Amino acid sequence: MKLVVVLLLLLQVSGSADSRCFCEVTGDLDDCACDVETIDGFNNEQLFPKLQTLLESDYFRFYKANLNKPCPFWTDSSHCGLRDCVVQPCSPNEVPEGIRSSSHNKYSAEANEQLNECEKTQHLGAVDVSLSDETREALLEWNKHDDEAERFCVVDDEESPDSQYVDLLLNPERFTGYRGPEDWRIWTSIYEENCFKPYTVKRPLMPGSFHSSSGGEERTFYSWLEGQCVEKRAFYRLISGLHASINIHLSARYLLEDSWFQKKWGHNVSEFRKRFDSELTAGEGPKRLRNLYFLYLIELRALAKALPFFQQPSFRLYTGRPEEDQKHKELLLQILQLARSFPLHFDETSLFAGDEKEAAKLKDDIRLAFLNISRIMDCVGCFKCRLWGKLQTQGLGTALKILFSERQIEALPTSSNRRPSFQLSRQEIVSLLNAFGRISTSIRELKNFRSLLAEEG
């Protein structure tokens, strides 16, 4: 009798994996005026190819990271010993001089010279406005505080002497073998401590519940989630979507063969099903995929809103190679204009639209929670996973910064003689586009997994 039950369960699991993974990944998305099919067509046919070309350019392939920062939350210092977890940093001569010379947002040398000359002229014959050392230090602290008040993630890697440039094309995100209790500890900390929920309400699918068929935790969690304000739902869905995107990358670039002669990476359908099949995830897998589309809409909206910043004449994708820099800026602008042309953007005005004081408090709570999540990335034991985790959380944090800086972006100066109040560092720009590139790739990979699951029957 037991054997018959097992066989029936196996047939149920293997019979229609395609429909069970994608059964809910269709139609309108919650809290949005968009649908899955529109995103699929727009991303796969229009945006994805251009974006991949841009991300292969020198400006976007080199990312600066400190992968040796200690975990700020627990003392476990164990690191993944697997060889595929290793990150190979760049030697100085591998990074274009224009990138190495400064970690800040690059304006042209001509624009900087013009600004300096303009400032000198304005000060000639003017009242002495020099500051004491104490006052200057105080102002720097105030500016630092003001900058940090708008940040959604930790950005100190940019100035750290322990940071190194990494070639993202030579250190791709893929399955490394890093899994188990250490991996679960990271995601448990993110979900259980940073997603605005009472401890009594558990997120579904914790370790050991893979084969739970009751769905009790799922029903409790999602009924609680639907009762929350749109901002808290959105925050959870962003984190869930990021988690789903990472899992798709690991399933799509899985180590299929490892011998003395070669390593073969490719799609692992079983791994994908384990993470997204409704039967194997107590019904949660398809919801994760829907959250991926929600994340896509949020970051796409941020790219569209950032267009005026990148259109400034003074802005350059500076590597020290003028012709290439200009060509890649034109490609970037094409991508951002394409993003702006998307017909069904997420309406961010639906967020924080209530009582002004309550909305400000909620916004700050969300900012601090996301800031906390970005710090958790320094606890990831696998260095390659840590690299891509840091990049993608910083990219999402930059997207949120853009969405909540609408007034500053609208007030950008039209003249190159004035520095804009809204700034993005090179680090933020590189993480923003690469993080969106990861999500765009995930959407594209879903098409591949649909086909592979359909072939299995």
Going by the DSSP 8-state scheme, the letter that residue 61 receives in this structure is H
Q: Residue 264, SS3?
A: strand
Interatomic CA distance for residues 209 and 293, integer angstroms: 25
Q: Which member of 90, 195, 379, 385 is catalytic?
A: 385
Interatomic CA distance for residues 33 and 301, integer angstroms: 13
CB of 21 closer than 8 Å to CB of 442: no
Binding site annotation covers 388? no
The β-bridge relationship of strands 164-167 and 263-266 is unpaired
Alpha-carbon torsion angle 445, 449, 452, 457, nearest 10: -160
385 is a catalytic site residue: yes
Binding site annotation covers 187? yes
CB of 435 closer than 8 Å to CB of 295: no
Binding site annotation covers 345? no
247 CB neighbour count, 10 Å cutoff = 21
Binding site annotation covers 340? no
Q: Residue 118, SS3?
A: helix
Q: Token pair 């401590």 is at which residue?
A: 193
CB of 68 closer than 8 Å to CB of 332: no
Binding site annotation covers 223? no
Burial 264-294 (b: 16+ CB within 10 A, else e): ebebbbebbbebbbbbbbbbbbbbbbbbbbb
Interatomic CA distance for residues 10 and 317, integer angstroms: 53
Interatomic CA distance for residues 106 and 208, integer angstroms: 49
User: Can you say whether the dihedral through the CA atoms of 326, 296, 187, 155 is positive or negative?
Assistant: positive
Q: Which member of 32, 80, 153, 382 is catalytic?
A: 382
23 is a catalytic site residue: no
Instruction: Identify residue 49 by its one-letter amino acid code.
Output: P
Binding site annotation covers 123? no
Instruction: Identify residue 195 by its one-letter amino acid code.
Output: C
Residues flagged as binding site: 174, 176, 187, 240, 243, 275
Positions marked catalytic: 382, 385
Residues flagged as binding site for FAD: 174, 176, 187, 240, 243, 275
